[in-house]
Structure 1
Amino acid sequence: MDGIFSETEHKRIADAIREAENRTTGEIVCVVARQCEPYAIIAMMWSALGGLLAGAVAVPFWSGLPVFCLPLLQVAVVALLMLLLQITPLRMAMVPEAVKRRRAERLARAQFLEQGLHRTEGRTGILIFAAMAEHHVEILADEGIDAKVDPATWQTVVDGFTAQMKRGETIDAFVDAIGQCGAPLAEHFPKTPGNANELPDRLVEI
C-alpha cells in the first residue's frame, strides 16, 4: 500500500521535530494511522441487521410469492450492505464514536511503547498521534513531562489539530502541534550540552 504522505511532507515533519528538539532535551515522535482497524465486525453487524429489517418489512407484502424468495431477499440485502460498507467513509459513519475513540486510544498507547518513548533518559518523550479515519488525536507525555507540565496543556493542541485534520490539513496540523508541544518542553527541559538525540526525527505511518 502506498504511503499516506509524500516524501516532501515527511521532510516537513522531520524538520519541524528537529527545530523543536534543538531547544529541548525532550523527544518528540509523530505517528499517523490511516485507520485504527478495519471494523469488519461492525460492517457485518449492520449488514445482518439490515437483512433482518428487510425481511420484516417485506413479510406483509409477500403474500402470493414463493416463501423461499424471502431469505434470498435478505441475503441480497446483506450482500449489498457489505459491499457498500467497504467504502471507508460509509463504514466509519456506522462505527459508534465511543468505539472509534477506544480503538484510537488503545493504538496510541501501543505506539507510545513501540516507538520507545518510555525509554528516554529523562523520561521526556512525547507522542503526537493522529488516526485519520477516526479524526482522533492523542498527545501522550512520559512521566518526566507529566511531573512538570499539566496534562491539560495538551488539550488545546489536540483541539486545534483535530479541527485542521477534519479540513484535510493534517501535515500543517502536525507541524503546528510539534511547535506547540516544543514550547513547554523547551521551558521545562532546555537543551543541555552533549544531549543526544535518542529517537528518530520522523513521521511514522501505520
Structure 2
Amino acid sequence: MQTASEAVTTDQRTKVAAAVSAAESKSCCEIVPVVATASGRYDRAEDIVGLWCAMLGAIAVFLAFPGDVDTGHWGGFPVWAQVLLMVTVMAVCFLVGAVLADRFHGLRLLFTARQQMKEEVNLRARELFFDRRVHHTEGASGVLIFVSLYERMAVVLGDRTVVEKLGEEFPQQLCERLTEALRKDDVGTAICDTINHAATSLATALPRGEDDVNELSDALVLLD
C-alpha cells in the first residue's frame, strides 16, 4: 500500500500549498489540508482472515484423515496424532492468514466493515482538528480537509465561526465535492479543487482583515 508521502508528489504538494495561500490571502480562515496513509489499524480483520485460513486447514486435515479405520489394519494414523496434526495445521494457517492480511491491504480491506472504517476516519479527523491547532485559531475560523487513503474516505471540518457564517452544510458540501474529485483525479488535484471552490465562499463570509496573521502553515500535512 502506498504511503501518503508516496501518493502525493512534490509538485502536488507545492500546488496545494499555493492553493491554501491564495485562499487565505482573501479570507481570515486557516485552511489545513492533511493526507494520511490510514486512520485505523484494523487488527480484527487480520484475526478474521486467520480464522478463515484455520478453518480451511482443519477441513483439509479432516478430508485427508476421515477417521475410519479398516478392520484388522494396524498401520493407520493414530487418532491422537490426527488431533495433534489438526491443531498444528490450524495454528499455522491462522498465523499465515494474519500475516497475509497484514501484508496485503486489499485482503484486510475485504474483511473490514465500512462502518468501522468510517468511524475510524471521523475519529482521526477530529483528533487532527485539535492536534493540528485548527480549532485554536484566534477567530475560530479553521477548516480541516482530511483524506485517508487506505479507507478511501474524506472528512471536512469547519470551526465555530465558519459554521456560523456559512452553515453546518458547508463542510459537508465541501466533503462531497472532495470525494467526487478524488474519484477522477489524483489526491493533490482533488484537494486543490476543493480549496479553490471554498475560497470564494470563505472570502465573502469571512474576508481577510488588514491585521490578519497567518497562524498555521500552508503546507500539506502528510501522515505516513
Provide TM-score, normalisation by structure 2. 0.83
- Aligned Cα root-mean-square deviation (Å): 2.1
Q: Name 1:153's counterpart in structure 2.
A: 170
Aligned counterpart for 1:79 among listed residues 87, 91, 95? 95
CA distance in 2: counterparts of 1:102 and 1:164, whole angstroms = 22
Q: Give the number of equivalent residue pairs.
A: 206
Residue-by-residue CA offset, 1:34-65 (whole Å, 9 max, x unaligned): 11133223212331244135425753663245
Conserved 8 A contact 1:31-1:130: yes
Indicate whether 1:25 and 2:38 are aligned: no
Q: How high is the sequence identity, in percent, across the aligned residues? A: 22
Q: What amino acid sits opposite 1:181 in the alignment?
A: A
Alpha-carbon shift at residue 22 of structure 1 (Å): 1.1
Deviates more, 1:30-39 or 1:14-23: 30-39
CA distance in 2: counterparts of 1:141 and 1:155, whole angstroms = 9
Indicate whether 1:108 and 2:125 are aligned: yes
Alpha-carbon shift at residue 2 of structure 1 (Å): 8.2
Aligned counterpart for 1:3 among listed residues 2, 5, 14? 5
CA distance in 1: counterparts of 2:203 and 2:160, whole angstroms = 16
Q: What amino acid sits opposite 1:197 in the alignment?
A: N
Q: Name 1:14's counterpart in structure 2.
A: 17
Aligned counterpart for 2:157 among listed residues 115, 136, 140? 140
CA distance in 2: counterparts of 1:201 and 1:167, whole angstroms = 25
Provide TM-score, normalisation by structure 1. 0.90
CA distance in 2: counterparts of 1:132 and 1:168, whole angstroms = 13
Conserved 8 A contact 2:135-2:159: yes
Q: Secondary structure at the match of 1:192?
A: coil
Gaps of 5+ in 2: 68-76
Q: What amino acid sits opposite 1:169 in the alignment?
A: D
Conserved 8 A contact 2:4-2:36: no
Q: Name 1:191's counterpart in structure 2.
A: 208
